[in-house]
Amino acid sequence: MISGKFQDLPIHDIELDIRNPRIRRLLEYYQEDSITEEALGLALNSYSTENDGPASNSATPVRLRESIVANRGIRQPIIVNRHRDGRMVCIEGNTRLYIYRDLHKNEAEGDWSNIPALVHDELEGESIDAIRLQAHLVGPRPWDAYSKARYLHELQNKEHMSLTRIVALCGGSERDVVRSIQAYADMEAFYRPLCKAASEFDVERFSGFVEFQAPRVQDAIFRHGFDGTDFAKWIKDKSRIGSLAEVRQLPAVLNDEKAKEIFLKKNMKEAVKVLDRPAMNTDLQNASLAQLARALETKAGQTSMQELRAFREEDDGHTLRHIDLAIEALEFLRTEIDAGS
């Protein structure tokens, strides 16, 4: 059991963590001994800004700073590891510590010289990993998917932590953890070499490599003479594959000669249009949208595990493809309805 003591610590007695997985990819172009506090601050700010989308749970430094000032401090203490030589390193809460230092430096109203901290003595690697995993993989301030996957990959391949232990620490299913780790490895192997400049490496495209882990997607790509590099090129070209959910359409598109030709010349959206759509019978055509929605809800709820397995094993993902198209159409309809209310 990991335990610590609550203390108010002087802000300048604590080191910011340059190995923080949240921002490590933004610091990897610096020599370790040349990373300044200003560089750390820029990295923390850059990370939070690029993840401040509608689906993000992370507060930007500006919003976090406003909250800290308004509440005259933090409610959740940072977590500090005190080494045997007396060094204290912030292993969770680097942004909050940086904001305290900045407020103190700029002589903001209030006392920002000390910060609440939970202090652990001489934590070793796995204990630190457990704190980070619980705080950011299943906690209220998650890392982006790429940074999570990178960290899990390092735990397994550099620190040789067992898969069972990783799953136990971060929760979720073993299948999801394995897919995340392999997606990171594939993105590094196939996508990164295509990026001549660091700014070209778009971590938001990571979810496409998660979709790439589906056996039916890989089988379709390899069966038609393409490889991981081809896939990475398609992902990098946002005009070819826009929404990363479109990766799921690849088996159906590649299995249809006309659709494949259009995809390779144009994009996925145009390719999907030529795929055959099943004709609805008269009864379905006459049903109201409410009746169809209710029937779909009922049918989805009654789907057996045997049926789900059959859907997963479909060579071209026929069922999943039409589910995706239906979701897209319904989301558009819902947006239009909401816009008029």
Terminal CA-to-CA distance of the chain, rounded, Å?
53
Residue-wise pLDDT tens digits, 165-198: 888 777 678 899 999 999 999 999 999 999 998 8
Domain residue spans of the chain: 5-129, 239-341
**Most distant pair of Cα atoms in the chain: their distance:** 79
Q: In which band, very low, low, confident or very high, does the pLDDT at 49 lie, cut at 50, 70 and 90?
A: very low
Residue-wise pLDDT tens digits, 270-284: 998 888 666 666 677
Q: Which fold has domain 5-129?
A: 3.90.1530
User: Does residue 100 contact residue 11 with C-beta atoms inside 8 Å?
Assistant: yes
**Does residue 26 surpass a pLDDT of 80?**
no
pLDDT of residue 37: 65
Q: In which band, very low, low, confident or very high, does the pLDDT at 1 lie, cut at 50, 70 and 90?
A: very low
* pTM recorded for the entire structure: 0.59
Strand, coil or helix: 3: coil
Could you tell me which residues come within 8 angstroms of residue 203 by beta carbon, excluding any fewer than 6 positions away?
Answer: 25, 144, 145, 146, 147
Both structure tokens of 337: 């309805």
Q: Which whole number is the average pLDDT over 235-241?
A: 95
